[in-house]
Structures are given as structure tokens and as C-alpha cells.
Amino acid sequence: VVSLERLNQVGSVDVDLGCINVGAGATLSTIQAAAASNGWMFGVDLASRESASVGGMIATNAGGLRVVQHGQMRQQIVSLEAVLADGTILLGTQDAPKDNAGYDLAQLLIGSEGTLGIVTSARLRLVPPDRNAMVALVGVRELAVAIRLIGKLRRAECTLAAAEFFDDAAIELVCQHTGAARPIAEMPWYVVIECVGDQDLIGVVSDVFSEFSGIQDDLVVIGSDTASARRLWNYRERITESIARVGVAHKLDVGIPRFKLDSFAAKVRASISGFDSASVTLFGHLNEGNVHVNVLGVDRHDEKIDDAVLRLVAEFGGNVAAEHGVGRAKSAWLHLSRTPEELRTMRAIKFAFDPKGILNPGAVLV
């Protein structure tokens, strides 16, 4: 067992280049604070910001709330240092933004879930901070409407920074757990969007909403100051803890072609109804078609429900691991998203890096 908790150094921010060197054990919140106090921002944000380490985020290529604006962890790495299975230290010292000198080993390690090497430190790219932000919560009957809405917002005179969705079961659990009131009348789906920019954001976003026939005025709440924006974000960010209060959920983190999200949700609910006392909560990252399927009320060791949902994902042309990785729990289903040729190539890469199979055995590849 390797713990990197003490590799938690956070170097000084290079204010001219917008970069920071950090140890693998540094948490996301400490990086965000260091960037902010130097006039920069880190482009990835997760609700687990207090506990998520940069090493874990690199290993899982974490996504989170701002992928639509800044991409996943992969896009934030300038270079990294890693230790291979035989003790070799790969030292990424490059600071030139363009680099096509051979294979990109850092990018291969990102998202490899500790199966190819142990990340010990990284040089991270920072982004300019957002000036003004406005948050809106919108109720919609279909996710297809919300997808067209964010398509319009991406072309409007503001920057779409986040677009998160959740179903009525999710908001009900959050309201029960936190005591918050429902923000709007009951709807099948809710979307929290955040737009940033220097313009009159409320004016720009309101114009988009009013031109958009799928959105009713009484199904929109706007949070224009920090406190009201935080209140709206809580409906999304407190879903995971609200589910955990009820029981241990089966958690599937899947990617679905975006215009198939509504029919996927309907099929998941239909297949759950075949399991006595099971209930499902659906939420996730809209622009990436990333759905967190959480099923409560099923024995935690009974994998039939996982199998049913992941086979459905494959039927929809989706992927069985969108942002949390494959780990050991989902490795038996990786073949649903990858061809035999791809799996063979992955095994060859694993063997080249770790011929004795000592790094995270059983994770990703069975």
C-alpha cells in the first residue's frame, strides 16, 4: 500500500506563465486557494474538493463541474513526475507549451488509475479567473430541451461554465436531507447552469431563455449574487451526500450520446422496476452526456442491477466509465465499451510499463 498524503507540497504560482508545481498528495482545495490568491484559477472543480488529491485526480482524469469550460484533468497538465513499477523515475521537465517530441507519456499516465505508474508531482496549468458569474436553475420536461438550451448559451455573448442536470428523485433527497425548499414546481428534470463573462450576464441569459420556446418563466430561478448562486448549486452538489444518508447505492458512472439521454433514462427506470424495492436517482454533467446512475434498495453485493444498466449503456452506444474510472468494480464490463483489439493494445501497454503486474493489480484490466 502506498500513501502519498505527505507529498502535499504546493509550490509558488508562476504568475507570468499561469502554472503551479504541486505534490501528488495536495488537495484540490489547496490548489484552488493558492491559484486564487495569485490572481489565477484552477480549471477543474469537484464537489470532493476538500479530499480529492491531485494524484488521484490525474490517475482518474477527473472531470467535474467545469469540463464544458476548461476540459478534464488531462487538459490541465503541463508535465508530471511519476515512478514506474521498476523504480524508474519519469521526470517531465518540459515547460514548452508545444511538444510533439515522441510519445506523450504524461498523457498515457493520466487516467491510467495507477496501473502504469505512481504520479508523485505535477506542473499544472492555471486559467484566468472568471470575472462575473450568474447561476440559474431551470426545470425542463426533457433533457433534449436542456441540451438545445446549452447549445444556444454556448453561442451567446457569455461563456457557459457549467451545465449540470438531476432528476426529481435527486432534488427530493436533497430537500429532505438539507431542509431546503423546492426552488420551483415539480418537474422531471432540473438543470443548473453557470455563465461567466464581463457582460450583463442576466440580460444575455434572459434573452436566450425568452427566445427559447421550451423554457417557461416560472420554471427558472436566477442566482445573481454569491449567496443565491450557492443556494442553487447546493441542489446539485449535495446529491451524493443526500443519497449516502439513505443507504449504500450501486453507482454507475456512464457516458451516453447526448440526444439519447431521455430514452436512456426511461429504459433505466424500466429496468429498475424489475428489482423489488429498488429506486434510482439520475444526475450528472449535461454537456458531456455523463450520467451518474445511483440505485438504492438493492443488496450491495448483488451485481445484477449493475450488469443490466451497463448492458443498456452499451446498447445506447455509450461508455461504462465516463469520469470515475474503471477500477476493480467495473473491470468485468470494460469489454462492453472497448473492442478486443483495443483491449489487446491496452494489455500490451500495461505489460510494457509493469511486466510483473504489481501496480494496482486487478484495476482496469481483468
Ligand X SMILES: Cc1cc2nc3c(=O)[nH]c(=O)nc-3n(C[C@H](O)[C@H](O)[C@H](O)COP(=O)(O)OP(=O)(O)OC[C@H]3O[C@@H](n4cnc5c(N)ncnc54)[C@H](O)[C@@H]3O)c2cc1C
List residues near ligand X by CB under 6 A: 4, 24, 46-48, 51-53, 55-57, 59-60, 62-64, 113-114, 118-119, 240, 323-324, 327, 360, 363
Report the nearest approach of ligand X to the CB of residue 56 (Å): 2
Report the nearest approach of ligand X to the CB of residue 217 (Å): 30
Our CB check for ligand X shows the closer of 308 and 326 to be 326
Our CB check for ligand X shows the closer of 18 and 111 to be 111
Our CB check for ligand X shows the closer of 17 and 329 to be 329
Report the nearest approach of ligand X to the CB of residue 189 (Å): 18
Rounded to an integer, what distance in angstroms lies between the CA atom of residue 305 and that of residue 251?
A: 10
Report the nearest approach of ligand X to the CB of residue 255 (Å): 12
3-state secondary structure string across the chain? CCCCCCCCCEEEEECCCCEEEEECCCEHHHHHHHHHCCCCECCCCCCCCCCCEHHHHHHCCCCCCCHHHHCCHHHHEEEEEEECCCCCEEECCCCCCCCCCCCCHHHHHCCCCCCCCEEEEEEEECECCCCEEEEEEEEECCHHHHHHHHHHHHHCCCEEEEEEEEEHHHHHHHHHHHCCCCCCCCCCEEEEEEEEECCCHHHHHHHHHHHCCCCCHHHEEEECCHHHHHHHHHHHHCHHHHHHHHCCCEEEEEECCHHHHHHHHHHHHHHHCCCCCCEEEEEEECCCCEEEEEEECCCCCCCHHHHHHHHHHHHCCCECCCCCCCCCCCHHHHHHCCCHHHHHHHHHHHHHHCCCCCCCCCCCCC
Report the nearest approach of ligand X to the CB of residue 328 (Å): 9
Report the nearest approach of ligand X to the CB of residue 239 (Å): 8
Rounded to an integer, what distance in angstroms lies between the CA atom of residue 63 and that of residue 104?
A: 20
Q: Evaluate whether 154 touches 187 at the Cβ level (below 8 Å).
A: no
Our CB check for ligand X shows the closer of 262 and 323 to be 323
Our CB check for ligand X shows the closer of 46 and 135 to be 46
Report the nearest approach of ligand X to the CB of residue 240 (Å): 4
Our CB check for ligand X shows the closer of 57 and 106 to be 57
Our CB check for ligand X shows the closer of 2 and 96 to be 2
Q: Which residue is nearest to ligand X (CB)?
A: 56
Our CB check for ligand X shows the closer of 4 and 133 to be 4
Report the nearest approach of ligand X to the CB of residue 112 (Å): 8
Our CB check for ligand X shows the closer of 44 and 201 to be 44
Q: Evaluate whether 209 touches 220 at the Cβ level (below 8 Å).
A: yes
Q: Evaluate whether 32 touches 41 at the Cβ level (below 8 Å).
A: yes
CA neighbours closer than 13 Å in the CB half-sphere of residue 20: 29
Report the nearest approach of ligand X to the CB of residue 319 (Å): 14
